[in-house]
Structure 1
Amino acid sequence: MSSYIADGICDAAILRRLESMRPDGEKSEGWMERQRKAVARALDLLEADAAALAGEATIGTLAVLAALGYLDFRFGHENWREGRPALASWFDKAADRDSLRRTAPPV
């Protein structure tokens, strides 16, 4: 289930990013806001079930790690962690993997 939510987060975040790159006058603020809200709803679902993410890494948890890392990379100015303490705590612990540290984008 978490892999589907992570896929949805990535889909909406990438759509929002692409829309933001369009020339002025062609961007749809409404479309970008719709995608932002979709990500927020998905994050709220993950927060409600953050305990299920703990334990052995699975394709689902790795997908969630990648999606949240992408949000930090592209939308770092927005604090997805606010109001989601369980998800933020899980992410901080789970992201402290050597493989993730070595492949993190440059700051």
Structure 2
Amino acid sequence: MKIYHSPNSPFVRKVMVVAHELDLAGRIERLPSAVGPVRRDATVRRDNPLGQVPTFIADDGAVLYDSRVICEYLDALGGGSFFGSGAARWRNLTDAALGDGLLGAALLARYEAMLRPETLRWADWSRGQLEKVVDVVDRVEEMELGARLDIGTVTVACGLGYLDFRFPDLDWRAGRPRATAWYAGFAQRPSMMATAPAG
């Protein structure tokens, strides 16, 4: 198995956390990539016309994307229960969508600040994206996450970790003791520590 990756992509991190938890990480070859929203990696585009990471190549040659699809494939391969069944499945998928939404908004805000020429930046756009981020973290504060380990909690944790990495000034922990305590514990999982952004 192979994965086109970027060590600081939160979506790649989500896949690799699941792979570590299922004891599959050692079987996945990490292929370098130079993907971006402006300059696109031709090598990745040959397998994934979106030119995004993660892009995953299974042992039988099947190419899978995006991160949720890859995670579900790994879960099936490793006999896991990250997606669950019945009501738990819908809860897990909804929580994963919440975490993915946080990541999507945070990435758009980062691209606006880091890639767009300063004279073309739109402050209202960035503010709107970061308001989504704040609303998601407020919702996480209300959630009963407990000791759950599923696609929802992994995605939310990778989202909060991305905020620490790219938006330290946001101080998402302020006024959110439950989310702070939950993340502090979850971030100590070996899978999370092994996939922490490199800086």
Scaled by the length of structure 2, the TM-score of the pair is: 0.51
Letter in 1 for 2:122: S
Higher relative contact order structure (alpha carbons within 8 Å, sequence separation ≥ 6)? 1
- The runs of 4+ residues in structure 1 deviating greater than 2 Å are none
Checking the alignment, whether the CA contact within 8 Å between 1:2 and 1:46 is kept in structure 2 is no
Unaligned runs of 5+ in 1: none
1:56 Cα offset (Å): 3.1
Counterparts of 1:77 and 1:59 in 2: how far apart (Å)? Answer: 27
Give SS of 1:101's match: helix
1:101 counterpart letter in structure 2: M
Task: Give CA deviations for 1:57-84 in whole Å, capped at 9, x if unaligned.
Answer: 0011000111111111100122001011
Aligned to 1:63: 155
Please give the per-residue CA displacement for 1:9-66, whole angstroms capped at 9, x wherever unaligned: 01100010011121111001110001111110111111111x2x11230011000111
CA distance in 1 between counterparts of 2:137 and 2:148 reads 21
Partners of 1:97 and 1:43 in 2: how far apart?
21
Match of 1:15 in 2: 108
**Greater percentage in strand:** 2
Instruction: Return the structure number with greater helix share.
Output: 1
The total of aligned residue pairs comes to: 105
Corresponding residue of 1:82? 174
RMSD (CA atoms): 1.0
Deviation at 1:106, TM superposition (A): 2.8
Q: Which has the larger radius of gyration?
A: 2
- TM-score of the superposed pair, with normalisation by structure 1: 0.92
2:132 matched to 1:47? no
